[in-house]
Chain A
Amino acid sequence: MNLSAQLFTLIDFAPRLRRGLRSPAATIGASVLLIVIIVAAFAPWLAPSDPLRQDIALRLRPPGAGHWLGTDNLGRDILSRLIYGARPTLGIAALVMAAAAPIGLLIGIVAGYVGGWTERVLMRLTDIVLAFPQLVLALAFAGLLGAGTFNGALAVALTIWPSYARLARTETLSIRDSDYLAAARMLGIRSSRLLWGHVLPICLPFAHVRVALDMAATILSLSSLGFLGLGVQPPTPEWGAMVADGSKVIFDQWWVAAVPGAAILIICVAFNLLADGLRDLGDPRHG
């Protein structure tokens, strides 16, 4: 069986969806995420006005008709900025996961399968990175290498791969001496095809719970960078930076900071609910 067929059986959609609906947590989390993804995708059509258009005469308006969530200190419509802000928040977090998770899985699978000194060196490296203060290192990294989207994302990605390496190694060790792999080897499947085609699919069901959890943590880290001015740069709307804009007027115009922060909270709750639900649904291999 080739890799795409394996992935296809792994993601047999209909039974999974039915099973997923049995978990209220996963259902709620997934629904909220779906809404946010749709909003981000159709931002130009959904936003009532241009998120960058400033109107000093209309600055710091309270929520009401015309500007449903009020305006910020430059008179920009907060609802429009919120809608456009979903794009960097979701997009960059997804890119970070897409970069970090495969690297972590690769390191873990190689360490677990090869064993010996390779394993010791790789896992020692993993433990070292796990013992670091991840947010602090991400802040320092972004601060020293220059604020910006790419450096912020890279800083976060560099600190989250170790959990995937740990997970993949544990799973690989558990099947290294199994009949399943022995059979694959006997059929002449070797090296990278064995790892990608036969070991990786075993790790994926565990990895997707981890991805959902890490999406929440990554969004929090990225928005912290944004809040400190080290992430996405103005005038691009980003939820963390929007909270920072509102922090100067928090005592009088509370909505400027409250609204984007609430959006971060909601999307992180959704990812955590999804992760909880997926975990409760158990190991899909036996589902």
Chain B
Amino acid sequence: MTMATQRLSTLFFRHAAPATLLRIAATSVLSLALTLAGLLAVTFAMSALSPIDPALQQVGDHASAATYAQARHALDLDAPLPERFVHYLDRLCHGDLGVSTATGQPVLGELREVFPATFELSTIALLLSAMAGVGLALLSARWPGSWIDSVIRIISLLGSSVPIFWLGLVALALFYAHWHWAGGPGRLDDAYEYTIDMPSGLVLVDSWHSGMPGAFASAVKHMLLPVLLLASYVLGSIARLTRTALLGELHQEYVTLARAKGAGSSWILLHHVLPNCAGPMLTVIALAYTNLLQGAVLTETVFARPGLGRYLTNALFYGDVPAILGATLVLGIAFILINGTTDMLVRLLDPRQR
């Protein structure tokens, strides 16, 4: 191990025995697997309970009984439930999420196409809101009781009360239709939408590499409103929860000691308190990320942006069972991975939680 990595590992893992770290990692992975199994059971149960008949959808209601029976067999609908669940898991392991009844395309391929857009949108919104939120929290912890507290309280109150689909519509009406400050629905102006290749699926990257003048600017203009909308949606909860963590830490004795030794308030906040809040902050930001992914479902729908969210709402509209299950599964797995890795990191970072 080089000096730097050694320093990093003692800084973060605080001299924990390797066996302890291994135990934490193992229990975390086990609980992740259990949660994943739960998710699979739930999605399977939903598809089994659904009154929508995929076989009927496929063959139509004029088909003969024999054709219908054949379709049921082909779709594995005639086997007993436990056997169907095993088959379902087996197909998932082979990357087979079924064929969309609306488009006739394999669901996995469609999900692969739409996922990057949602990832891009929610990650940019997360970066923005995390920086602004932690900044606000630091300011309010530095000057407790000031007007910044009220700002945080109001933003967080509005963030947890506003229907995001409505805020999106209002933002479109004001900033696009009325003032022309931002791009409208879609991810690009029409001139670029059908002329640019999307190899990565990330609209900012692809428009940058397209070499078409104005394409990148168009992508940014169209991303402005949805990103700001999503960022403001979680900004309040990040700021409020981080503030609570910082204020709690400020009452610790080591802060009094640092103060007695002559350290300034800002120095203590940035060099002692902030690093010690890494665990809670990680949790807060992970929570915001999962909220953003859910918010993106409605935001993409309102802004007509291609992505996992709009894919899901379209599938719901058409009663496209494999597409609904596939999109739910991908979002669920993203959730479980975010929650699971955060749990593990927090326990690894904080010796008190081992």
CB-CB under 8 A for A228 and B301, given A140-B325, A144-B46: yes
Give the complex CA separation of A223 and B157 in angstroms: 18
Please list the residues of chain A having a beta carbon within 8 angstroms of any beta carbon in chain B: 124-125, 127-129, 131-137, 139-146, 216-217, 220, 223-224, 227-230, 240, 243, 246-247, 250-251, 254, 257-258, 260-262, 264-265, 268-269, 271-273, 276
Tell me whether B161 is interfacial, beta carbon within 8 Å. Answer: yes
Choose among B49, B165, B172, B312 the residue that contacts A224 (Cβ–Cβ < 8 A). B165
Tell me whether B169 is interfacial, beta carbon within 8 Å. Answer: yes
Give the complex CA separation of A273 and B162 in angstroms: 13
- The segment from B7-15, B83-91, B289-297 found at the interface with A is B289-297
Across the interface, which residues of B come within 8 angstroms of A268, CB to CB?
160-163
Number of CB contacts from chain A to chain B under 8 A: 144
User: Which of B161, B312, B339 gathers the greatest number of chain A CB atoms within 10 Å?
Assistant: B161
5 residue pairs of the A-B complex, CB under 8 angstroms, read: A133-B335, A135-B294, A217-B160, A227-B166, A269-B158
Across the interface, which residues of A come within 8 angstroms of B172, CB to CB?
250-251
Q: Are A269 and B166 in contact (CB under 8 A)?
A: no
Across the interface, which residues of A come within 8 angstroms of B167, CB to CB?
261
Q: Are B317 and A229 in contact (CB under 8 A)?
A: yes
Could you tell me the distance in whole angstroms from the C-beta of A72 to the nearest C-beta in chain B? 15
Across the interface, which residues of B come within 8 angstroms of A228, CB to CB?
301, 313, 316-317
- The segment from B32-40, B66-74, B192-200 found at the interface with A is B32-40
Contact-residue bracket for chain B: 35 or more
Give the complex CA separation of A228 and B177 in angstroms: 23
Tell me whether B31 is interfacial, beta carbon within 8 Å. Answer: yes
CB-CB under 8 A for A224 and B34, given A132-B42, A140-B325, A250-B172: no
Q: Are B35 and A265 in contact (CB under 8 A)?
A: no
Choose among A137, A220, A261 the residue that contacts B328 (Cβ–Cβ < 8 A). A137
Across the interface, which residues of A come within 8 angstroms of B293, CB to CB?
133
A contacts with B: majority SS: helix
Across the interface, which residues of B come within 8 angstroms of A140, CB to CB?
43, 46, 312, 316, 324-325, 327-328
Contacts A261-B166, A269-B158 known; list 7 others, CB within 8 Å. A136-B312, A139-B297, A144-B46, A144-B324, A145-B49, A216-B161, A258-B173
Across the interface, which residues of A come within 8 angstroms of B321, CB to CB?
144
Please list the residues of chain B having a beta carbon within 8 angstroms of any beta carbon in chain A: 31, 34-35, 38-39, 42-43, 46-47, 49-52, 157-158, 160-163, 165-167, 169-170, 172-173, 177, 290, 293-294, 297-298, 301-302, 312-313, 315-317, 319, 321, 324-325, 327-328, 331-332, 334-336, 339-340
Q: Are B161 and A136 in contact (CB under 8 A)?
A: no
Choose among A141, A143, A243, A250 the residue that contacts B163 (Cβ–Cβ < 8 A). A243
Give the complex CA separation of A250 and B175 in angstroms: 12
Task: Please name the 6 residue pairs, one residue from A and one from B, whose CB atoms are nearest each other, closest first.
Answer: A261-B166, A268-B161, A143-B316, A128-B38, A144-B50, A251-B177
Q: Are B313 and A144 in contact (CB under 8 A)?
A: no
Q: Are A269 and B161 in contact (CB under 8 A)?
A: yes
Q: Are A243 and B165 in contact (CB under 8 A)?
A: yes
Across the interface, which residues of A come within 8 angstroms of B52, CB to CB?
144, 146
Give the complex CA separation of A254 and B165 in angstroms: 14
Query: Which chain A residue lies CB-closest to B293?
Result: A133
Q: Are A223 and B169 in contact (CB under 8 A)?
A: no
Give the complex CA separation of A148 and B281 in angstroms: 39
Across the interface, which residues of B come within 8 angstroms of A146, CB to CB?
51-52
Query: Which chain B residue lies CB-closest to A136?
Result: B331
Query: Which chain A residue lies CB-closest to B167?
Result: A261
Across the interface, which residues of A come within 8 angstroms of B297, CB to CB?
135-136, 139
Choose among A136, A144, A264 the residue that contacts B332 (Cβ–Cβ < 8 A). A136
Give the complex CA separation of A276 and B167 in angstroms: 23
Give the complex CA separation of A136 and B335 in angstroms: 11
Q: Are A131 and B161 in contact (CB under 8 A)?
A: no
Choose among B50, B160, B163, B312 the residue that contacts A227 (Cβ–Cβ < 8 A). B163
Q: Are B161 and A265 in contact (CB under 8 A)?
A: yes
Across the interface, which residues of B come within 8 angstroms of A262, CB to CB?
166
CB-CB under 8 A for A264 and B339, given A132-B42, A137-B42, A144-B49: no
